Amino acid sequence: MAHVNGRGRLARPAEDRGRRTGHRVRHSTVVVAVLLVLAAFVSHPVAAGAQPAQPWLNRWLNPDRRADLLLREMTLEEKVELMTGDQGEAPAAYFNAGIPRLGIPELRMADAGAGIAPRGWTLPGTGNRATAMPAGIALGATFDPTLAHDLATAVTEEALATRHAVLLGPNADIVRLPWWGRAGETHSEDPLLTSQLVTSYVRAVQAQPVIDDLKHYNVYNQETNRGDAQNSIIDERTLQEIYTRPWADVVERADPGSVMCSFNKVNGTFVCENPLLLDQILREQLRFKGFVITDFGAIHSTAPSIRAGTDMETGTKVLYDGALLAAVQSGQVPIELVDRSVHRILRTMFAFRVFDTTYSGGPIPVAQHGSVAQRVEEQAITLLKNDAAQLPLTSATRSIAVIGGDANITAALGGASYVLPVHSVSPLQGIQDRAAADGIDVRWAPGADPVNAASMLPGPPAVPSSVLAPPGGGTGLRAEYFANPDLAGSRC
């Protein structure tokens, strides 16, 4: 029988207390037994007491341990192979073939400046077309990290659909020259805004089993002689506070798995072999843990590049591959540097679940991702002047004149950022579609020639061909060529 003790609580009989103690002992025994079973499973995931043939495939181990185990089994040739891209007929922008003997999967890397570029893949229903996202500079005009996250999520889903394990982008470059050829795929001239957008972007990418490759490190902002002698002379404060600020923030807050070294020199040394940028700043100061790859043709040496911290040659297959193998065999490059780079690559692949993910591909949600692209583009529109509140147009508008040689053309970034769009609407078509609902008449006049190669010439805009009438009819100019300065005889 229970009774009240001196503290006002019910006291249980001794035999009841004994039974409760026994329950606690049995309960503790069960917990210990479960923990022992789990420990055995973690140590031996294939079968209790049996070590798997390839222990680095045990996903219960941490990435560093898995990389250590695999590195021990690799030959020198296999290590160099992992550090060298397989170009030629590669089914991706950059590509590293797998090493089946060791269970190392292939690495497909997607150009993704404004969506997934068409590089040897095809999808059910859409072929080699993907969602054409707004340019990076448009994302910058939104000032909205949330939109950056949404856009990056959609792009990453399409990277998975196209079987890519690495996404080449976004850009963390700082726009300093308005005529820079890659200004369109970069976000802004402001390091803080770039930091916020790119950090959000990288987080969204790596929330899925995709490694983000942040580019182009560092001080890259012009195209003239970019792959040869272009040399950015810069002081320490500008380097740290302007150019390196986005990289510092992204590494600290988003932990990108990879970084791409840029084409140019900085203070006389190519970035891909620059120990100040790669070793002292990126790895020691910023504590970057991933691996460094080269841009297409950005590597210019073997020993200096691997010493500075470039881990993988991509785009070209010239200065690692056989050259690196020979450099190690001759003693010019210590094997420890190769092991360092290989460990960085493997650890990152393990950390971002590349070994543990089947990239089977599949269709893309066209309407869903199209709405993301439209939302970003709408928020990017910036109205600088609106005298007399002319915009937005009201229902009282009866007609609209559209003037421009490219009004019926959908603009797109070129190069690595080019996307073959699933769906596109030209400015003229968009205006016509919207106006038709209100019965507004839309008329278009080219006014000038569309953008073409002549548009790249310096000087004032060319005279529109529509106002030129050469002999014989038609529009434009007629050129005649002679083989002499007297313009005599037959034309060439």
406: annotated active-site residue: no
| Rounded CA Rg of the chain | 30
Q: How many CA atoms lie within 13 A of 134 on its CB side?
A: 23
pTM above 0.75, yes or no: yes
pLDDT mean values, one per 10 residues, the chain (492 residues): 39 43 46 41 42 88 98 98 86 90 96 92 94 96 98 98 97 91 93 98 98 97 83 96 97 98 96 98 98 95 98 94 97 98 98 96 96 96 90 88 92 87 93 91 89 78 81 85 89 82
Asked whether the beta carbons of 263 and 218 are under 8 A apart, the reply is no
CA–CA dist 93, 111 (Å, integer)? 6
Identify which of 286, 284, 212, 221 has the alpha carbon closest to the alpha carbon of residue 249.
286
pLDDT reported for residue 16: 45
Query: Sign of the C-alpha dihedral, residues 11, 17, 20, 21?
Result: positive
pLDDT at 416: 84
Cα–Cα distance between 418 and 274 in angstroms, integer? 30
Integer CA distances (angstroms), 317 to 158, 208, 251, in order? 28, 29, 28
CATH of span 59-351? 3.20.20.300
Selected catalytic residue, list 150, 173, 212, 295: 295
- pLDDT given for residue 29 in this prediction: 46
Burial profile 119-132: b = 16 or more Cβ within 10 angstroms, e = fewer: bebebeebeebbbb
Q: Quote the pLDDT of residue 52.
A: 67
CA dist 154 and 281 (Å) reads: 32
| pLDDT computed for residue 46 by the predictor | 43
Domain boundaries, the chain: 13-51, 59-351, 383-454
Region at 151 (left for phi over 0; alpha for psi -120 to 50; beta for the rest): alpha
Q: Tokens representing 231?
A: 């040399």
Specify the DSSP element, H or E, that contains 403: strand 399-403
